[in-house]
Structure 1
Amino acid sequence: MVYDIKALKSLGYNMLRKHVKIEPALYYAAADELGILILQDMPSLATARRVLPNEKQQSEFERQLVEMVTQLRSYTSIFAWEIYNEGWGQITSYNPEVGLTNLVRHLDPTRLVNAASGWHDHGAGDFSDNHHYTSPQCGTPWHDGRSGPFDSSRIGFQGEFGGPGHNVSADHLWKVPQAINGIGETYELYDTVEKWNYRAHFLLSELLFQVQLYSCAGAVWTGATDVEGEVNGMMTYDRRIIRPDVQKWRLDLEALYDASKHRSNTSDI
């Protein structure tokens, strides 16, 4: 856990998204001590075949949301809570994220709330969050997909983007048939790390323009490490290969931070 956080910091990251899972206490303690921000997701309900929770399941989801916030709110690394991701288990008939956002704010008024990351955004929470992998659309006047148009009254955020894949030998993969057979589902796939870096630099350059010209205030590159079936991480599954050109990657991230700082200090924007 410490290795992963240190590796991300060495590349220039100042934040990570803990995606639909909760880590052991040691992880958050390490994040506090090492100094990196965490966007903490609530684990999702069922996603298959558009199955939505019944009343009992929704009540349990709310109970566990309260448990998560109450249990983790003492960790200073957590800067925001996330309730729903891409509509997974999110009822749309009465938009429960509105009430759940108010509940989270009552439990912890010190943090931001991302009510709906990616899809089914009905105006709740502090973020207007877009997911678009191959072309970021962070706080921009154009959009496609299911995120809806940017809401200028909230924080422009790219909750997921990037995602170029780099195929590696089986030595570095999680070697089960389902994982190997799913590699082709990665958003884009390149056969060399050099090509991967060219594509990654282009995507970060697109994001930079959106920070400079529009209302992009933050973004989450996907992902930190390879997982089962996706080979798009900063590191391979076994942590033996770090894909980014470290010097160039740090420069790209520093350019994003500098552009954001410049916007925040410019009164006419």
Structure 2
Amino acid sequence: MNIPRNEYPRPQFVREEWLSLNGEWEFSFDTDRFDKRIIVPYVYQSKLSGIGITEPHEVVWYRKKINLPKEMSGKEIILHFGAVDYSCKLWVNDIFITEHIGGHMSFEVNITSALREEENVIVLEITDEPYNLEIPRGKQYWKEDSEGIFYTRSTGIWQSVWIEAVDEIHLARVFLTPDLDNVQLGVQYELSSDRATSLRTEIYYKKELMAVNTTALLRKEGNFRVSLDQQLLKDWNVQEDLTWTPEAPRLFDVKFVVYEEEREADIVSSYFGLRKVSIEKGKFLLNNRPYYQKLLLDQGYWEESLLTAPTDGDFIKDIELAKSMGFNGVRKHQKIEDPRFLYYADKMGFLVWGELPAAYVYSRKYVKRITDEWMEEIFRDYNHPCIVVWTPLNESWGVFNIKDRKEEQSHSVAMVHIAKSLDQTRPVICNDGWEHTCGDLITIHDYEWNKEIIQERYSTLENILRFMPGGRPLLAHGWEYQGQPVLVTEFGGISYMKGEWEGWGYSSAVSDEDFAKRYYNVISPLLASPHVQGFCYTEMTDVEQEINGLCTYDRKPKIPVEIICAINEGRWEPEDER
């Protein structure tokens, strides 16, 4: 059997000695009978799992029998899970190892002490409460059948599983912070042992060594800065700008070597982009220059595999498709995406707004659960240059009374400041769409389809601030506009049925020509507005019962990508306006 998704799952932190555990696992519903087979990392509700039924089950079981490769003998073995929805208990050879809570984030555990020389057995009991609205679930519906803006739920393992062999002394984590203004890289490191004596950091650009730093280690954690040698660039006659942008996604490679005295204990490969995101005088800046964001709302669903991309190549195809239509990024909507997607966005030059999947009932349990996943998301994805904005809340989901209730406003403020306490390098949105509190951007969801109304609405700042998107104020009561950049981050949603896939949208087109004109009517007023600094169109593809994508569910553009690109760049208008 071919093993699906067999690429290295964590390209920001690479070791050579690893083994994929994707492929066939034993599986069962409700009890540990293991009477079925499932293909990991696809959830049982998906076709590619080999099961493909959508009826809810609160408990599922997985079992995998493995023999470790001989070359891993004598080393520490780390077991990694990309994401398991929602909570799971893990046993290895009948020894309880750990419990993990949170359906969207990666976790890892050292299983060395439980392993045997012969066959080893991994067992997971996974719990996913299908009707619990206090847990972060994003677009996964709590009813049995999809409807409206909600889709088929996912239960169980939905990102890659793998094991990794490491020395007892190894690099546990690094945070990489590029400093464009001083042409430096900040490195914060965590090690597994205080026996390590030094950490060597080598930085390369196009395989040419640009900087070397060797740090003597006095304890397990620390930080240092590495200056990139600009004289070397001149000596090599490198004239190009070395910053990372969507138009020119230049990346620096990094090699970390951990030493115990003279012995190399661990080698890890990574990369970074020399880029800066900032807001100055009400302008969104990329690398100290104003930058207009043209984004797509991307739900990250596939017909045969739901939240899991069918293949690694599907990430590449989606980015290439979006760029061909004239977009420079996506807002990953209600989903923490697979690190493989973020890797390709880094490599191919594609902005990403990192967003937290919502829960839908406010309570103390809700606050604890969503805050934990929020911090884990920022920890895991901090190093990716493609991520330029963090979004913890969307359309007041989970905080439906935020307009007036102080505790819900405080939660919004806390989520912003938690992000800023962990990451000072990116803007944070407090509540995407409306009822903002203290965020760095004012973002608006507006599904108006009439061109003249849109033109008038965004012609002045006063009109914008008076607007009530979704019947709600832009600012929660007690909060004032502080000069933040304005972006329209959901709009359009034009439905157009191509083929036999039926569904709904926010307005409807009846032909290719009508679809192009309607798209022009919602895009052109935003491009013309002196106050709008970017947009996010709803949406990239049709998803289940929604047919408001620029592409069908199987990624076929509904009209030529050249027309969409020309409209996005202000180079096209309908015949009756030429």
Q: TM-score, normalised by structure 1?
A: 0.81
Q: Distance in 1 between matches of 2:389 and 2:551?
A: 25
Q: Distance in 1 between matches of 2:554 and 2:496?
A: 14
Residue in 2 that maps onto 1:17: 331
- CA drift of 1:152 comes to 5.5
Residue in 1 that maps onto 2:370: 61
Percent identical among aligned pairs is 27
Q: 1:141 pairs with 462, 473, 478, which one?
A: 462
Residue in 2 that maps onto 1:198: 517
Check conservation: 2:495, 2:509, Cα contact below 8 A: yes
Q: 1:236 pairs with 552, 560, 568, which one?
A: 552
- CA drift of 1:253 comes to 2.2
Answer with 1 or 2: which has the greater Rg.
Answer: 2
Alignment of 1:85-104 (within 5 A): 85-90=394-399, 92=402, 93=405, 94=407, 95=409, 96-104=411-419
Give the SS at the match of 1:115: coil
Is residue 163 from structure 1 mapped to residue 493 from structure 2 by the alignment? yes
- Whose RCO is larger (CA < 8 A, sep 6+)? 1
Distance 1:169 1:24, change over 3 A: same
Q: Distance in 1 between matches of 2:385 and 2:551?
A: 26
Residue in 2 that maps onto 1:125: 439
Residue in 2 that maps onto 1:216: 532
- CA drift of 1:202 comes to 1.4
Q: Distance in 1 between matches of 2:348 and 2:334?
A: 22
Check conservation: 1:118, 1:147, Cα contact below 8 A: no
Check conservation: 2:498, 2:558, Cα contact below 8 A: no
Residue in 2 that maps onto 1:154: 484
Residue in 1 that maps onto 2:51: none
Distance 1:231 1:120, change over 3 A: same
- CA drift of 1:247 comes to 2.8
Residue in 2 that maps onto 1:188: 507
Check conservation: 1:197, 1:243, Cα contact below 8 A: no
- CA drift of 1:234 comes to 1.6
Partner AA of 1:219 in structure 2: F
What is the aligned length? 235
Partner AA of 2:547 in structure 1: V
Q: Distance in 2 between matches of 1:132 and 1:155?
A: 16
- CA drift of 1:140 comes to 4.0
Check conservation: 1:42, 1:82, Cα contact below 8 A: yes
Partner AA of 2:474 in structure 1: G
- CA drift of 1:246 comes to 2.7
Residue ranges of structure 2 left out of the alignment (5+ in a row): 1-314, 572-578
Partner AA of 1:233 in structure 2: G
Check conservation: 2:524, 2:570, Cα contact below 8 A: no
Q: Distance in 2 between matches of 1:18 and 1:147?
A: 24
Q: Distance in 2 between matches of 1:21 and 1:106?
A: 22
Q: Distance in 2 between matches of 1:134 and 1:76?
A: 33
Check conservation: 2:509, 2:518, Cα contact below 8 A: no
Residue ranges of structure 1 left out of the alignment (5+ in a row): 47-51, 174-179, 257-269
Q: 1:45 pairs with 356, 359, 376, which one?
A: 359
Is residue 83 from structure 1 mapped to residue 399 from structure 2 by the alignment? no
- CA drift of 1:167 comes to 1.3
- CA drift of 1:67 comes to 0.4
Q: Distance in 2 between matches of 1:147 and 1:155?
A: 17
Can you list the C-alpha shifts for 1:79-129, whole angstroms capped at 9, x where unaligned? Answer: 00001111101262221111111110111111110111112212x111111
Check conservation: 1:39, 1:80, Cα contact below 8 A: yes
Distance 1:191 1:157, change over 3 A: same
- CA drift of 1:203 comes to 1.1
